[in-house]
Amino acid sequence: MYTCLALALALSPRSLSVRRRASAAQSRRCGPPVGAADVDIYGRAVLAPLEASASTAEPVVKVYSVHCSVNVAMPWSNKPQEESTGSGFTMRQQHDGQLVILTNAHCVADATYVEVRKAGDSQKHVAQVARIAHECDLATLTVSDDAFWEGVEPLEFGPMPSLQDEVSVVGYPEGGEGVSVTQGVVSRIEIQRYAHSGANLLAVQIDAAINPGNSGGPALNADGDVIGVAFQNQLDSQNIGYVIPAPIIAHYLVDDAPSDPRRPAGFPSLGIFWQAPRPAARSSRRSYLGMEGRTGVRIRGVAPTAPAAALLRTGDVLLEPDGSHQPPPPRANHPPHQPTTRTRALPPRPDTPLGGQERLSFAHLIHLKFAHQTIGLRVLRAGEARHTHLVPVRPLQRLIPPTAYDEPLPYFIYAGLVFVPFVEPYLHEWGDDWQQDAPHELVQLVLSGAQSEAAEQPVLLSRVLPSPQTAGYLTLADRRVLSVNGERVLNLRQMHALVQRLQAECDHLAFEVQCVGGPAVIAIDTSTAEQEAKAILETYRIPAAASPDLCGQSETDAQSGQPRL
Q: pLDDT per position in the chain (565 positions), as tens?
A: 333 333 333 333 334 343 443 344 344 334 444 454 566 667 666 554 434 334 433 799 999 999 999 999 999 999 999 999 999 999 998 777 889 999 999 999 999 999 999 988 889 999 999 999 999 999 999 999 999 998 888 999 998 998 889 999 999 998 888 888 999 999 999 999 999 999 999 999 999 888 899 999 999 999 899 999 999 988 777 788 999 999 999 999 988 887 787 889 899 988 888 887 665 545 566 666 666 667 788 888 999 998 888 888 888 888 877 644 455 554 433 333 333 323 333 333 445 555 555 677 888 888 889 888 888 888 888 777 777 767 888 898 999 999 999 988 999 999 999 999 999 999 999 998 999 999 999 999 999 888 999 899 999 999 999 988 898 899 999 999 999 999 999 999 999 999 999 999 999 999 999 999 899 999 999 999 988 889 999 999 999 999 998 876 544 454 544 444 3
Q: Looking at the structure, do residues 138 and 104 belong to the same domain, yes or no?
A: yes
Task: Tell me how far apart the alpha carbons of residues 252 and 239 are, in angstroms, rounded to a whole number.
Answer: 27
Q: Looking at the structure, do residues 430 and 542 belong to the same domain, yes or no?
A: yes
**Domain for residue 258, yes or no?**
no
Distances (CA, A) of 374 to 200, 298, 307, 393, 397: 21, 20, 10, 6, 18
Q: Looking at the structure, do residues 447 and 547 belong to the same domain, yes or no?
A: yes
Q: Looking at the structure, do residues 282 and 382 belong to the same domain, yes or no?
A: yes
pLDDT tens for each residue of 398-409:
999 999 999 889
> Is residue 367 among the annotated active site residues?
no
Phi, psi for 132 (deg, rounded to 5):
-150, 140
Q: Strand, helix or coil at 468?
A: coil
Task: Tell me how far apart the alpha carbons of residues 535 and 524 are, in angstroms, rounded to a whole number.
Answer: 16
pLDDT at 359: 73
Q: Looking at the structure, do residues 377 and 416 belong to the same domain, yes or no?
A: no
Q: Looking at the structure, do residues 352 and 479 belong to the same domain, yes or no?
A: no
How many domains does the chain fold into? 3
Q: Looking at the structure, do residues 547 and 418 belong to the same domain, yes or no?
A: yes
What CATH number does residue 478 fall under? 3.20.190.20
**Domain for residue 125, yes or no?**
yes
Query: Domain end: 120, 149, 178, which one?
Result: 149
**Domain for residue 514, yes or no?**
yes
pLDDT at 286: 63
Of the residues 110, 137, 316, 478, only one is catalytic, namely 137
pLDDT at 122: 87
Residue 75, domain extent: 36-149
Of the residues 106, 364, 367, 496, only one is catalytic, namely 106
- Note whether 350 and 360 are within 8 A (CB): no
Of the residues 84, 215, 462, 547, only one is catalytic, namely 215
Q: Looking at the structure, do residues 339 and 476 belong to the same domain, yes or no?
A: no
Task: Tell me how far apart the alpha carbons of residues 137 and 86 are, in angstroms, rounded to a whole number.
Answer: 13
Q: Looking at the structure, do residues 142 and 49 belong to the same domain, yes or no?
A: yes
pTM of the model: 0.81
**Domain for residue 177, yes or no?**
no
**Domain for residue 337, yes or no?**
yes
CA angle, 510 as apex, 504 and 513 as ends, to 5°? 135
pLDDT at 11: 35
Q: Looking at the structure, do residues 377 and 276 belong to the same domain, yes or no?
A: yes
> Is residue 251 among the annotated active site residues?
no
> Is residue 168 among the annotated active site residues?
no
**Domain for residue 439, yes or no?**
yes
Closest C-alpha to 142, from 244, 63, 225 = 63
What CATH number does residue 86 fall under? 2.40.10.10
- Strand partners of residue 127: 114
**Domain for residue 194, yes or no?**
no
Q: Looking at the structure, do residues 443 and 512 belong to the same domain, yes or no?
A: yes
- Strand partners of residue 166: 185
Distances (CA, A) of 76 to 113, 408, 537, 546: 20, 8, 11, 9
Which residues does 479 contact at the CB level (< 8 Å), separation at least 6? 439, 441, 442, 460, 461, 513, 514, 515, 520
pLDDT tens for each residue of 24-73:
434 433 444 445 456 666 766 655 443 433 443 379 999 999 999 999 99
What CATH number does residue 332 fall under? 2.30.42
